[in-house]
Amino acid sequence: MQIQDLPYPDPGVPDARSGPRFLWWLGRNQLGGQLKSLAWGLLHFLSVSVLPFCVGLAVEAVVARSGTRLALAGGLLALACAGNAIGSTGLHRAAVTNWITAAARVQQLLARKASQLGSGLTRRVAAGEVVAVSTGDVEKIGWFVEAMSRFTAAALTVVIVVAGLVVYQPALGVVVAVGLPVLALAVLPLLPRATRRADHQREKAGRATELASDTVAGLRVLRGIGGEELFLDRYRRASQEVRHAAVRSARMWALISAIQMLLPGLLLIAVVAHGVGLAREGRITVGELVTVYSSVMILTYPLRHFEEIAMAYSFSKPAARRAARVLSLERATDGGGSLAGEVPAGDLYDPATGLLAPAGRLTAVVCGDPDAAGRLAERLGGHPGEPGTSVLLGGVPLDELPLDTARTAVLVQDKDPVLLSGTLRELFEVPASGAVDAREALAAAQCEDVLAALVQGSLDIDDAMDARITERGRSLSGGQRQRLALARSLATDPEVLVLDEPTSAVDSHTEARIARGVRELRTGRTTVVFTSSPLLLDRADRVVLVHEGEVAAVGLHRELVHKEPRYRAVVTRETEEEPLPDAVRDGRAALRHALEEIEETA
């Protein structure tokens, strides 16, 4: 896989049973790239390691006053330098390719999992944790996958060079052969503590990221209640905890680096001391001493990759564990769906609550608990909270359908829909039946003022569909964003459309017109609206009251508001102990009828 070939047509099915297993799976799926990097790495490291032998030959040639041998040493030195340059370039390209492709594979896997789980992902994993996994953890995982081939090349080079030294000069080669394993293994006792400190730092950073994400998401509310300073203080404390944890982790890695620098120096001293004694005794030549000394110095370069792989694994192991935890989440008992075929049609039924939405009808659901309403809406979309609570569409369990089929059958718009940046035309480039035009959907969602605002805010734009929407629609009001999202949902024209509080941010007059537009546009289609708005409820063919997790009453809005106290308490904010005065109730009814007359006249 080359960088220009990204993204992967299929990133594969990961082994998410544990962090190490996930890392091993990534490595196996990049075997070609790993072997290529290993080959370039061997050429690079061996070329570097040959340089001391060339220098030793040159010294011996000078001592022997042999021009031929000196020329041979020079030629070998030039060849080694060329191999070093070529190997270094190839290794860098292969290593960076491995890093980027591994990170891209993990990001594709995470994106696929997020699309499968939908809004249920952030209910099972904190939003800040998801952000941290898809950014910093992906880089750490890619780093380890990339470093493995370089470490393998470095380790093989060390073995080859040590074996060569033993053959070339046994007296000094044995000293090097005994000392190098000590250098490589000396830091192992410190790695568990370094890993724990790195993991602690990552946990602190994840909490700080989550706190920052939650603060930004609720910034408007914080400003409204004057809570900016409170949350700023909390973030300051969290960031200081991250700094302290990072300093403690850095101290441990600094100690490991110091040991890696100290021990090779001690080995060099031992080699030189022993070598000088051998040279005085005439057992080795000056050229051989220079060769062994230079080889030990050069070997400190590949030995650094032992420290790097230890650091990379220490950081990537917890990162891989967190990524594997996200990737192991499943939408249902089997992730791909056990049923196949056409999109089912019929009544939508939730066995957990007893909610029934007849096919082709507009059903309004009143639920006093907004969180419970959100969970129920999510379950209606095919994301059961627990096994055995799957919603049935035409008698077919939604969570047993393939994901694409389930999403073609049911579309759920939650109460906080997201608008991506781009043109309005691009906003409506979503899978749809083609039966509903974008302009029809915009008209039904009462987006005339939104279109005018977009055209006015754009330069040299005549068609509102070419106007650009800023990131998350921040240039629009909450009501305008909500109506655009509703229009997008209407344009998809799914078999079943579930809307969670689709008009909570609009005024009553606009809400009444939206209620009429949705009813007309969705005629003959199954629509479920979670709302407590009398204007929407009065347009519904069927109103269902869900109380304490089960259906408590079914009927029309005007019937339930007079007969069912629990329904009246949610819709009119009236309690049994303090009922609204008749004058207030009659006034609300008169206002509702007046709005209906106005919209009919319009």
Domain check: are 404 and 275 in the same one? no
Q: 295 or 14: which carries more pLDDT confidence? A: 14
Q: What is the pLDDT of residues 272-285, one digit of tens each?
A: 888 888 888 888 88
- State yes or no: pLDDT of 559 exceeds 80: yes
Neighbours of 563 (CB within 10 A): 11
Is residue 249 within 8 A of residue 197, CB to CB? The reply is: yes
Q: Is residue 332 part of a domain?
A: no
Q: Is residue 336 part of a domain?
A: no
DSSP state, residue 399: G
Domain check: are 313 and 352 in the same one? no
The single-letter code of the amino acid at 49 is S
Residue whose tokens read 């055995």: 388
- Report which secondary-structure segment, H or E, holds 154: helix 138-168
**CATH classification of the domain holding 578:** 3.40.50.300
Domain check: are 380 and 293 in the same one? no
- State yes or no: pLDDT of 411 exceeds 50: yes
Determine phi and psi for 384, rounding to 5 degrees. Answer: -65, 140
Band (40; pLDDT cuts 50, 70, 90): very high
Is residue 271 within 8 A of residue 175, CB to CB? The reply is: yes
The predicted pLDDT at position 560 comes to 92
Winning range, highest mean pLDDT, from 152-156, 428-432, 593-597: 152-156
Q: Is residue 487 part of a domain?
A: yes
- Distance between CA atoms of residues 216 and 442, nearest Å: 30
Q: Rounded mean pLDDT of the chain?
A: 82
Buried b (16+ CB within 10 A) or exposed e, 483-510: bbbbbbbbbbbbbbbbbbbbbebbeeeb
The predicted pLDDT at position 335 comes to 45
Q: Is residue 239 part of a domain?
A: yes
Is residue 53 within 8 A of residue 291, CB to CB? The reply is: yes
Nearest to 300, CA basis, from 189, 168, 154: 154
Is residue 296 within 8 A of residue 263, CB to CB? The reply is: no
- State yes or no: pLDDT of 596 exceeds 70: no
Q: What is the pLDDT of residues 327-364, one digit of tens each?
A: 888 765 444 444 555 778 889 999 989 999 999 999 99
- Distance between CA atoms of residues 190 and 206, nearest Å: 24
For the chain, the 3-state helix, strand and coil shares in percent, each to the nearest 5, are: 65, 10, 25
Spatial CB neighbours of 72, under 8 Å, sequence gap ≥ 6: 57, 61
Q: Is residue 334 part of a domain?
A: no
Nearest to 116, CA basis, from 13, 36, 257, 207: 13
- Distance between CA atoms of residues 393 and 407, nearest Å: 12
Among 266, 295, 327, identify where a domain stops. Answer: 327
Domain check: are 273 and 353 in the same one? no
- State yes or no: pLDDT of 262 exceeds 60: yes
- Most distant CA pair in the chain: distance in Å? 119
The single-letter code of the amino acid at 238 is A
Give the domain extent around 39.
3-327
The predicted pLDDT at position 220 comes to 55
Q: 579 or 280: which carries more pLDDT confidence? A: 280
The predicted pLDDT at position 577 comes to 46
Is residue 442 within 8 A of residue 485, CB to CB? The reply is: no
Winning range, highest mean pLDDT, from 221-235, 374-388, 482-496, 573-587: 482-496
Q: What is the pLDDT of residues 108-149, one digit of tens each?
A: 998 888 877 776 676 677 666 777 787 778 888 999 988 999
Is residue 357 within 8 A of residue 385, CB to CB? The reply is: no
Is residue 219 within 8 A of residue 284, CB to CB? The reply is: no
* Residue 185: Cβ-neighbour burial (10 angstroms; 0-12, 13-18, 19+): exposed
Q: Is residue 473 part of a domain?
A: yes
Domain check: are 311 and 380 in the same one? no
- State yes or no: pLDDT of 211 exceeds 80: no
Average pLDDT over residues 533-546: 93
Domain check: are 156 and 232 in the same one? yes
- Distance between CA atoms of residues 388 and 410, nearest Å: 19
Spatial CB neighbours of 224, under 8 Å, sequence gap ≥ 6: none
Determine phi and psi for 332, rounding to 5 degrees. Answer: -155, -170
Domain check: are 112 and 61 in the same one? yes
- Distance between CA atoms of residues 443 and 134, nearest Å: 38
Band (178; pLDDT cuts 50, 70, 90): confident
The single-letter code of the amino acid at 159 is V
User: What is the share, in percent, of the chain residues with pLDDT greater than 90?
Assistant: 27
Distance of CA 73 to the CA centre of its chain: 54
Q: 79 or 6: which carries more pLDDT confidence? A: 79
Q: Where are the alpha helices (DSSP H) in 186-285?
A: 191-217, 219-225, 228-280
Average pLDDT over residues 71-91: 92
Among 327, 358, 381, identify where a domain stops. Answer: 327
Is residue 23 within 8 A of residue 144, CB to CB? The reply is: yes
**CATH classification of the domain holding 254:** 1.20.1560.10
Band (512; pLDDT cuts 50, 70, 90): very high
Domain check: are 275 and 411 in the same one? no
The predicted pLDDT at position 193 comes to 84
- Distance between CA atoms of residues 158 and 179, nearest Å: 12
- Distance between CA atoms of residues 562 and 568, nearest Å: 7
Q: What is the pLDDT of residues 284-317, one digit of tens each?
A: 887 778 888 788 878 778 878 887 888 888 788 8
Give the bridge partners for 546, in sequence order: 367, 551
Domain check: are 163 and 233 in the same one? yes
Is residue 505 within 8 A of residue 495, CB to CB? The reply is: no
Q: Is residue 590 part of a domain?
A: yes
| Entry field: residues in the chain | 602
Band (445; pLDDT cuts 50, 70, 90): very high
